[in-house]
A and B are shown apart, each in its own frame.
Chain A
Amino acid sequence: MNTRALPLYATIVIFLLAYAICWLQFPAILSTRVIANLLTDNAYLGIVAVGMTLVILSGGIDLSVGSVIAFSGVFIAVLLRDSSLHPLVVFAMLLALTTAFGAAMGFLIHRLAMPAFIVTLAGMFLARGAAYMLSIDSVPITHPFYDMIQNAYWLMPGKGRLRLIGVLMLLIVLAGMIIAHKTRFGASVYALGGGEATARLMGVRQGRTTILVYAFSGCMAGLSGIVFSIYTGSGYSLATVGTELTAIAAVVIGGTLLTGGAGYMFGTLIGVLTMGLIQTYIVFDGTLSSWWTKIVIGVLLLVFILLQKGLLKLSQSRLAGGVS
């Protein structure tokens, strides 16, 4: 058995455990409504976390995604308002733009040997600033196409609505899994995360891989922006402040190492659902004041990470004991 998958198993076990505990307290949490909501409400987060996972696997970080999502929403809304383009055309333009933006950051990171943290931090300021410059108002999107997508859902038994964007998120996670684990590009990403100098000597095209990784993350952020604009039916330059940190937390809870080179795409999905579960639990509870909400979220984060660490240690020592 391979020890590298242990964090993933730990994550899954903890998630199921947590869900069971929530269910004991609030049986409604197991309704299809809540499960479908979990997918719909976290669709944008899941998609952006897929991009973030790849970036983190490569040993980098992308702080710009939250701003890029906001920018995407404003971009779409303004373009649909001021022009007669079809949304699909606008989507294509947007994805091209955010992908190029990500690639540009990747280029700077590689070419100037600057830390990703800083380059993407500047990118974060830049994207939000660009959103402000497009429009500081929140802009509603009214387009028949949007109505159609928003109303595309499968009514599950129990009145849960499995929406298109939730399904899209699952598909993206699947695509992410294939890219990360089944392609040479994915292997290069892991290699880069394992050690730059070594990866170079092994024949990783560092520049190309770095640029592609950030381009991918930019593309995912753009896609997430599209999903977010469908979710809220508008574009708003102040939206998704701090989403990058939520996404990073989800990736880490999913068992991916922030230092790069180790982790699983599927874990990220679990991480995202875990974050969603924490939110749902707090809303169901409904008695926490604003400040206790923050404290409890922090404590739960810590508990998840500690549990994961503990479970990992336990199983590793078990494994070592078994061998001897």
Chain B
Amino acid sequence: MLLKRIAPQLIALAALILLVTLVYPDFLDISFRDGRLVGPVIDVLKRGAPVALLAVGMTLVIATRGIDLSVGTVMAICGAVAAWAIASGWGLAPALLLALAAGAAAGLWNGLLVAVVGIQPFVATLILMTMGRGIAQLITEGRILTFNHPGFAFFGSGTVLGLPVPAWLWLLTGVGVALLMRRSALGMLIEATGINRRASALAGVNATVLLIAVYMASGLCAALAGIVVTADIRGADANNAGLWLELDAILAVVIGGNSLLGGRFSILAALLGALIIQTIDTGILLAGFPSEYNLVIKAALVLVILVLQSPRIAAEWRIWRESQRASREALAERSRT
């Protein structure tokens, strides 16, 4: 059941890895050094963290028929908040909590605009997308706010049981949220709201609160992603942190087979989508083509994957195969008579 749902993504990922291995044969090499695993695949797991984390929240938002364009800037805000708190000596736990609170607040803002004021999600989150980077720069005053705190840096480049901490973060967040959605009734209620908000509200679903909660979840995921990238470079880069990552996150969700029209969703598939995107990115870097080609290669690969995954193509392929078989059988029949 679950395997069937994520099969297209698994196949796409496998095919992609094969392709990358062709241009960079050592792609699958993993070695164990100084208590940690190293290799391109580990890099993918680590570097994919921001997009994967964003994709978790984005999946929920998209399931409600919304979209969150602000996650990239929310990353920058939360990174700036965390770096500011660390740099002014707040200590690790308060700094992290403050960053998460900033993410939740950003989500609350989006959620209120969407669910209460009734602005379309695209526009509501576009507003924060425009403003957010300004807010982040207000905190850092346009500088790269650096800090020296090994405990915080651990979230970017630390290792637990051989795996990088960012990889653990998205794995745990993803699996945790997926379990929460399916073990509680949240998943169904979110899907119902996304498919038909009016009917759900009439059936007693508290669609308003649910929508706000979903945007807050997205804000929290963005906060986590912001913490990862800030910890990674030991500094908050308000100008560039998370720049255009919202597009990658949305792409990941769609490659994961989730419909932008809301409804049925799969977080696991979205995570695979994020891995697919990161594999493309890392593959491009490893292959060593000139930078001018990066975008074209990425666009082409994404298009091919989407086309192959398109449900309509699948249906038509099935019909074509059946008609082929029918005509073959008819032919066999005729030759027999």
Contacts and interface: CB of A to CB of B under 8 A. Distances in A.
Instruction: Verify whether A and B have any Cβ pair under 8 Å.
Output: yes
Contacts of B128: 298
Contact of A291 (B117, B122, B134, B261): B134
A259 interface: yes
Contacts, number: 121
A232 B306 CA distance: 37
Contact of A298 (B119, B120, B131): B131
B94 interface: no
Interface string A191-204: 00000000000000
A111 B312 contact: yes
A45 B12 CA distance: 38
B150 interface: no
Given A118-B306, A294-B137, A309-B117, A252 B123 contact: yes
Most buried by A among B118, B123, B300, B311: B123
A122 interface: yes
A299 B134 CA distance: 11
Nearest to B238: A291
Contacts of A111: 312
A156 interface: no
A155 B197 CA distance: 55
A295 interface: yes
Given A122-B306, A291-B142, A115 B251 contact: no
Task: Give the size range of A's interface with the partner.
Answer: 35 or more
B254 interface: yes
Contacts of B254: 115, 117-118
B293 interface: yes
B296 A292 contact: no
B134 A132 contact: no
Contacts of A249: 123, 126
B247 interface: yes
A298 B292 contact: no
B138 interface: yes
Interface in B125-142: 126-138, 142
Interface string A237-276: 0000000010011001000011100000000000000000
B276 to A, nearest CB: 13
A2 interface: no
B126 A114 contact: no
Interface string B298-334: 1110110011001111000000000000000000000
B295 interface: yes
Nearest to B113: A302
A111 B296 CA distance: 22
Contact of B135 (A128, A129, A295, A297): A295
A122 B303 contact: yes
A165 B298 CA distance: 35
Given A290-B137, A298-B127, A298-B134, A115 B260 contact: yes
Interface string A302-313: 100110010000
Instruction: Identify the 3 closest CB pairs spanning chains A and B, nearest first.
Output: A298-B131, A294-B134, A129-B296
Given A129-B297, A249-B126, 10 more contacts: A112-B310, A125-B299, A129-B299, A248-B126, A249-B123, A252-B123, A258-B123, A290-B134, A292-B138, A305-B127
